[in-house]
Structure 1
Amino acid sequence: MRIPLIAGNWKMNGSLALIEDFGNAFSRTSFLSNAIDIAVIPPFLYLANADEAFEGTPVQIGAQTLYGEASGAFTGAVSASMLKEFGVHYVLVGHSERRTLFKEDDAAILAQARAAIDEGIVPILCVGETLEERDENRFDDVVLGQLDAVMKGLSEEQRRQLVVAYEPVWAIGTGRTATPEQAQEVHASLRARLRHYDENLADNMRLLYGGSMKPANAQELLSQADIDGGLIGGASLKPDDFIAICHAAG
């Protein structure tokens, strides 16, 4: 059985005060530890504070990116071993904003995934197509291609460490909305592609939905057969909203 994962990506948002608010909110909230996994993914600067604030709660911390090398003259970069020292359990790789704004390509994303796995950190591989790519019916080329680029570069054992998150970039800030049925269709396609590698892997890999999940739509999205959790953006900055989504998953 796949345990749902709700991961909140703060992007370049947050503050020490927000970390404290979340810590207090989760300390007052009880979850069955084996019913749901929860992660908060703040900017690098707040990782130590988050680790301390979430102590004694079921919340694990994640990082928003990493560099694919272990160490060296890479000014501004952060390695997997550094993240590990701060208690990081998850790390995003291939987020659409990293692909577009920071020009990270498939080779860089594969290196990041390998580096994370080597340190025992779970990579959350983000895949998704733009509005233009969707309108051109290029889902197979783009989204499944992004998945294959990493899967083909990993060993059978390494693949088992992955979580995959589908981000419908075409439905973010465009005025178009992905329905639960559309989200499920893509997740089913992703799981079908995973079966090309390993039946057991396909049955057990968690697939998250990253398209503006919020309290109002979380239950319907999470009830879909192949959606195993959410990568939450805006709602992850509001403790009450984020906890409501966690409750919907648990």
Structure 2
Amino acid sequence: MTKPNTLLALNWKMNKTPTEAAAWATELKGQLPSSAATLAIMAPAIDLPALQTALAGSPVQYGAQDISANPSGAYTGEISAAMLLDVNAKYAVVGHSERREYHAETSQVVASKARAAMSTGLVPIICVGEGLEVRERGEHVAYTLDQLRESLAGITVASAEQIVIAYEPVWAIGTGKTATAADAEELCAAIRGALSGLLGEVGADVQVLYGGSVKGGNIAEICGQPNVNGALVGGAALEVGSVLEMVNALK
């Protein structure tokens, strides 16, 4: 198996105004070294037009933190795939742990959003992962793989090359517990095995990311694991300096 390319998906969450996003992107663009990793900014939807302008001519990609399962219509507050494509977005995060927790999104909803993204050519970054209670019961692998299968419902083998999976150890977010590179590899390897079972040879080429307190000091070890193909980065994505630190660590 040839290891897929490394992807750093920089999730800004609910941070940065369009003005701040443009300034950030311009600063990054002026300092970004050549890198084997692909950079993609997951920004608030209101920031995407600013990124389209600021990143013109840059290899840095961008996408949304969520997407509607519906193509258009009376769905106040939602953002459609067509709207994202109109500003040249490439990715859409679906099923982030915060969406699952704060907005009660089920894996069935996640699957419908992933299919909506794929139907227009967007690449969904499908997030899965277990909470602390599940981890402490030792059921983390089975739970995460069940979540994965449900979140991939309706996605065919023919279209599966157009997906990214991100494993988030929800149990290590705000609990004082720390996930190790070995923890990342354990679940990413299990996800890889499940993808191969569901999708055959295509499963070997799907990018599987790890998301959980990734920063310059640990990214090389984490992304050096056989089944980790990059990272979904949160806090360390907000400052250009920390992003450059991660990029240089991977070189």
TM bin (shorter chain): over 0.9
Question: Which aligned pairs between 1:79-158 and structure 2 lie closer than 5 A?
Answer: 79-158=80-159
Which residue of 1 is the match for residue 12 of structure 2?
Answer: 10
- Aligned equivalents of 1:155, 1:224: Cα separation in 2: 28
- Aligned equivalents of 1:97, 1:89: Cα separation in 2: 21
TM superposition shift of 1:18: 4.2
Contact 1:163–1:207, Cα closer than 8 Å, also in 2? yes
What secondary structure is seen at the aligned counterpart in 2 of 1:173?
coil
- Aligned equivalents of 1:119, 1:247: Cα separation in 2: 34
What secondary structure is seen at the aligned counterpart in 1 of 2:41?
strand
Instruction: Output the amino acid matched with 1:187.
Output: C
What secondary structure is seen at the aligned counterpart in 1 of 2:90?
strand
What secondary structure is seen at the aligned counterpart in 2 of 1:188?
helix
Query: Which residue, out of 3, 9, 20, partners 2:23?
Result: 20
TM value normalised by structure 1: 0.95
Instruction: Output the amino acid matched with 1:241.
Output: S
- CA deviations 1:167-219 (Å, max 9, x no partner) are 00000110000111111111111111112123422221111010110001111
Q: Does residue 30 in structure 1 map to residue 33 in structure 2?
A: yes
Contact 2:12–2:237, Cα closer than 8 Å, also in 1? yes
What secondary structure is seen at the aligned counterpart in 1 of 2:67?
coil
TM value normalised by structure 2: 0.95
Q: Unmatched 5+ residue regions in structure 1?
A: none
Q: Does residue 47 in structure 1 map to residue 45 in structure 2?
A: no
Aligned-residue CA RMSD in angstroms?
1.3
Contact 1:27–1:57, Cα closer than 8 Å, also in 2? no
Contact 1:62–1:91, Cα closer than 8 Å, also in 2? yes
- Aligned equivalents of 1:246, 1:165: Cα separation in 2: 19
The count of corresponding residues between Structure 1 and Structure 2 is 248
Identity of paired residues, percent?
38
Q: Does residue 235 in structure 1 map to residue 236 in structure 2?
A: yes
- Aligned equivalents of 1:216, 1:125: Cα separation in 2: 25
Instruction: Output the amino acid matched with 1:26.
Output: K
- CA deviations 1:42-81 (Å, max 9, x no partner) are 1111110011111121111110001101011101011111
Instruction: Output the amino acid matched with 1:7.
Output: A
Instruction: Output the amino acid matched with 1:242.
Output: V
| Higher mean displacement: 132-141 or 52-61 | 132-141
What secondary structure is seen at the aligned counterpart in 2 of 1:144?
helix
Instruction: Output the amino acid matched with 2:12.
Output: W
- Aligned equivalents of 1:28, 1:107: Cα separation in 2: 41
